[in-house]
Amino acid sequence: MIIKETNDEQEKKGISTSILESLPNWFGIQESIQEYISESSNLPFFAAIDESKSLDESYPDVNYAGTRKFYETISFKPLECLPELWEKTIRT
Protein backbone atom coordinates (compact mmCIF):
# COMPACT_ATOMS: atom_id res chain seq x y z
CA MET A 1 0.00 0.00 0.00
CA ILE A 2 1.25 3.45 -0.89
CA ILE A 3 0.31 6.58 1.07
CA LYS A 4 0.52 9.80 -0.90
CA GLU A 5 -0.37 13.40 -0.28
CA THR A 6 -2.46 15.13 -2.89
CA ASN A 7 -2.84 18.86 -3.34
CA ASP A 8 -5.21 18.75 -6.31
CA GLU A 9 -8.63 20.02 -5.19
CA GLN A 10 -10.57 17.99 -7.76
CA GLU A 11 -8.74 14.78 -6.82
CA LYS A 12 -9.48 15.44 -3.13
CA LYS A 13 -13.16 15.97 -3.92
CA GLY A 14 -13.29 12.84 -6.07
CA ILE A 15 -11.74 10.65 -3.39
CA SER A 16 -13.93 12.16 -0.67
CA THR A 17 -17.05 11.67 -2.78
CA SER A 18 -16.19 8.05 -3.50
CA ILE A 19 -15.63 7.24 0.17
CA LEU A 20 -18.57 9.14 1.62
CA GLU A 21 -21.08 7.88 -0.93
CA SER A 22 -19.96 4.28 -0.41
CA LEU A 23 -20.86 4.51 3.30
CA PRO A 24 -24.50 5.66 3.36
CA ASN A 25 -25.14 4.16 6.81
CA TRP A 26 -22.39 6.35 8.26
CA PHE A 27 -22.82 9.44 6.11
CA GLY A 28 -26.48 9.68 5.23
CA ILE A 29 -27.21 13.40 5.41
CA GLN A 30 -26.72 14.76 1.90
CA GLU A 31 -26.08 18.35 2.98
CA SER A 32 -23.37 17.19 5.38
CA ILE A 33 -21.77 15.00 2.71
CA GLN A 34 -21.53 17.95 0.34
CA GLU A 35 -20.03 20.09 3.11
CA TYR A 36 -17.44 17.40 3.96
CA ILE A 37 -16.49 17.08 0.29
CA SER A 38 -16.13 20.83 -0.13
CA GLU A 39 -14.15 21.26 3.11
CA SER A 40 -11.82 18.35 2.31
CA SER A 41 -10.47 20.15 -0.73
CA ASN A 42 -9.04 22.88 1.53
CA LEU A 43 -7.30 20.57 4.03
CA PRO A 44 -4.13 18.46 3.97
CA PHE A 45 -5.14 15.25 2.25
CA PHE A 46 -3.50 11.83 2.20
CA ALA A 47 -4.74 8.88 0.19
CA ALA A 48 -3.89 5.20 0.47
CA ILE A 49 -3.33 3.46 -2.86
CA ASP A 50 -3.55 -0.29 -2.90
CA GLU A 51 -2.14 -2.17 -5.83
CA SER A 52 -3.06 -5.51 -7.32
CA LYS A 53 -1.66 -7.24 -10.36
CA SER A 54 -3.94 -9.34 -12.53
CA LEU A 55 -4.27 -10.18 -16.18
CA ASP A 56 -6.08 -7.49 -18.16
CA GLU A 57 -8.95 -7.90 -20.61
CA SER A 58 -6.55 -8.96 -23.37
CA TYR A 59 -6.49 -12.39 -21.66
CA PRO A 60 -9.85 -13.99 -22.59
CA ASP A 61 -10.53 -16.07 -19.50
CA VAL A 62 -13.87 -16.14 -17.67
CA ASN A 63 -12.21 -16.43 -14.25
CA TYR A 64 -9.97 -13.42 -14.80
CA ALA A 65 -12.97 -11.51 -16.11
CA GLY A 66 -14.65 -12.25 -12.78
CA THR A 67 -11.56 -11.11 -10.89
CA ARG A 68 -11.47 -7.83 -12.82
CA LYS A 69 -15.18 -7.31 -12.18
CA PHE A 70 -14.63 -7.83 -8.45
CA TYR A 71 -11.85 -5.23 -8.37
CA GLU A 72 -14.04 -2.77 -10.27
CA THR A 73 -16.86 -3.18 -7.73
CA ILE A 74 -14.52 -2.13 -4.92
CA SER A 75 -13.33 0.90 -6.91
CA PHE A 76 -9.99 -0.40 -8.14
CA LYS A 77 -9.01 1.30 -11.38
CA PRO A 78 -6.72 -0.21 -14.02
CA LEU A 79 -3.58 1.90 -14.02
CA GLU A 80 -1.24 0.25 -16.46
CA CYS A 81 -0.78 -2.86 -18.54
CA LEU A 82 2.57 -4.60 -18.16
CA PRO A 83 2.49 -7.62 -20.49
CA GLU A 84 6.18 -8.30 -19.83
CA LEU A 85 5.28 -9.38 -16.26
CA TRP A 86 3.41 -12.43 -17.47
CA GLU A 87 4.85 -15.45 -19.21
CA LYS A 88 4.22 -15.71 -22.94
CA THR A 89 2.48 -19.06 -22.35
CA ILE A 90 -0.18 -17.31 -20.26
CA ARG A 91 -0.78 -14.73 -22.96
CA THR A 92 -1.33 -17.20 -25.80
Render each residue's pLDDT in the chain as its tens digit; 92 residues: 788 899 999 999 998 998 888 888 888 888 999 999 999 999 999 988 777 777 777 777 888 888 888 888 877 777 777 777 766 655 55
Q: What does pTM read for this prediction?
A: 0.56
CB atoms closer than 10 angstroms to residue 77:
7
Domain ranges of the chain: 1-50, 54-92
pLDDT reported for residue 88: 62
- 7-32 per-residue burial string, b: 16 or more CB within 10 A, e: under 16: eeeeebeebbeebbeeeeeeeeeeee
* Rounded Cα distance, 31 and 40, in Å: 14
pLDDT reported for residue 8: 92
